[in-house]
């Protein structure tokens, strides 16, 4: 009963808000290009579903490709940093600079490098830049997060660098890696959308492009429909990764 209420409460609020919106739009005769009624948005969701889904697929594919790229480079660099303090001092400032530079600012440059015919490459690269940092910093922290007493035991047992890395530091880093990937996945999606806006080309045909295109034509209901799809996709991606993190932790901890 309690769970049913928990589930119904947010739904009820959404229904009330949508009803209020619908009534207000009709009563105040707000023009559709300014604020479409929820029913118009739903209608647009229905009729534009094929294009929206394809675009959502494109954006998701680019975000996931970026996530994989970011994951590989971030973990490789974190491993190097963990093995050598000198490399750490060398790499860390650069990584921080990369982190604090807004993706929008470097986007035009990356678009030029990727070539005007390959906007998707620029988008993947930019999203990867955004997704890189949480994985990198999680991995660096995780590789140093081993229980200091366990480290002492490894000293006592005379474990060398490689054994220590494989049998202590890497397993200790697992929870941090899971958390880093969860955060990075959300950022990759945001990065892909932002990069799409900046790349501003129809070549990649992602959700951001649909929003831009509909905006240019003042098809505001369609913009809303694209936003709804984007929000749902983000929520699903986050929920999926949160679940993955939980089961990953269960496997790591044994319960």
Partner 1 sequence: MEPFVAELAQVEVEYGGGSLALGPIDLGLAPGQITALVGPSGCGKSTALRLLAGLEAPTRGGVRRTAGRGETSVVFQAPTLAPWLSALDNVALPLELSGLPRATARDRAEAALGRVGLAAATNARPAQLSGGMAMRVSLARALVTEPRLLLLDEPFAALDEITRRSLADDVLRLWAETRPAIIFVTHSVEEAVYMASRVVVFSRGPGKIAGELTVAGPAPRPEGFRTTEAFRATVEAVSRVLAKGMEMAP
Residue numbers at the binding site for partner 1 (CB under 8 A): 147, 149-150, 152-159, 163, 167-168, 171-172, 174, 252-255
Nearer to partner 1 (CB atom), residue 34 or residue 157: 157
How is residue 236 annotated by DSSP? H
Ramachandran region, residue 254 (left: φ > 0; alpha: ψ -120 to 50; beta: rest): left
Nearer to partner 1 (CB atom), residue 29 or residue 149: 149
DSSP string, 57-124: HHHHHHHHHHHHHHHHHHHHHHHHHHH-HHHHHHHHHHHHHHHHS-HHHHHHHHHHHH-TT-HHHHHH
Nearer to partner 1 (CB atom), residue 87 or residue 145: 145
Nearer to partner 1 (CB atom), residue 143 or residue 198: 143
Shortest CB 152 distance to partner 1, Å: 5
Shortest CB 239 distance to partner 1, Å: 25
Shortest CB 252 distance to partner 1, Å: 5
In a 13 Å sphere around the CA of 171, the CA atoms on its Cβ side amount to 12
* CA–CA distance, 173 with 16 (Å, rounded to integer): 45
Among 148, 149, 147, 143, residue whose Cα is nearest residue 166:
143
Shortest CB 157 distance to partner 1, Å: 4
Q: Do 111 and 169 form a contact (C-beta atoms < 8 A)?
A: no
Q: Quick one: angle between helices 220-253 and 49-83, nearest 10?
A: 40
Nearer to partner 1 (CB atom), residue 113 or residue 251: 251
Shortest CB 169 distance to partner 1, Å: 11
* CA–CA distance, 189 with 231 (Å, rounded to integer): 10
Nearer to partner 1 (CB atom), residue 167 or residue 243: 167
Shortest CB 154 distance to partner 1, Å: 7
């Amino acid at each position: 009963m309690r769970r049913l209420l928990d589930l119904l409460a947010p739904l009820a609020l959404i229904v009330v808000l949508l009803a209020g919106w619908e009534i207000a739009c009709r009563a105040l005769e707000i023009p559709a290009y300014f604020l479409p009624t929820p029913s118009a948005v739903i209608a647009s969701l229905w009729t534009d579903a094929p294009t929206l889904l394809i675009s959502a697929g494109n954006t998701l594919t680019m975000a996931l490709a970026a996530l994989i790229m970011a994951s590989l480079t971030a973990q490789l660099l974190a491993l190097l940093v963990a093995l050598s303090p000198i490399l750490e001092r060398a790499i860390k400032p650069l990584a921080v600079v990369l982190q604090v530079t807004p993706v929008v600012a470097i986007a035009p440059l990356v678009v030029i490098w990727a070539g005007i015919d390959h906007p998707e490459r620029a988008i993947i690269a930019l999203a990867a830049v955004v997704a890189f940092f949480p994985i990198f910093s999680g991995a660096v922290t995780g590789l140093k997060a081993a229980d200091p007493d366990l480290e002492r035991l490894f000293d006592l047992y005379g474990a060398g660098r490689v054994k220590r890395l494989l049998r202590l530091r890497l397993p200790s880093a697992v929870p941090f890696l899971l958390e880093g990937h969860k955060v990075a996945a959300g950022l990759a999606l945001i990065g892909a959308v932002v990069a799409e806006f900046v790349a501003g080309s129809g070549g990649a045909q992602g959700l951001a492009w649909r929003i831009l295109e509909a905006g240019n034509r003042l098809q505001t209901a369609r913009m809303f429909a694209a936003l709804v799809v984007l929000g749902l996709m983000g929520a699903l991606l986050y929920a999926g990764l949160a679940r993955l993190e939980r089961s990953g932790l269960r496997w790591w901890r044994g319960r």
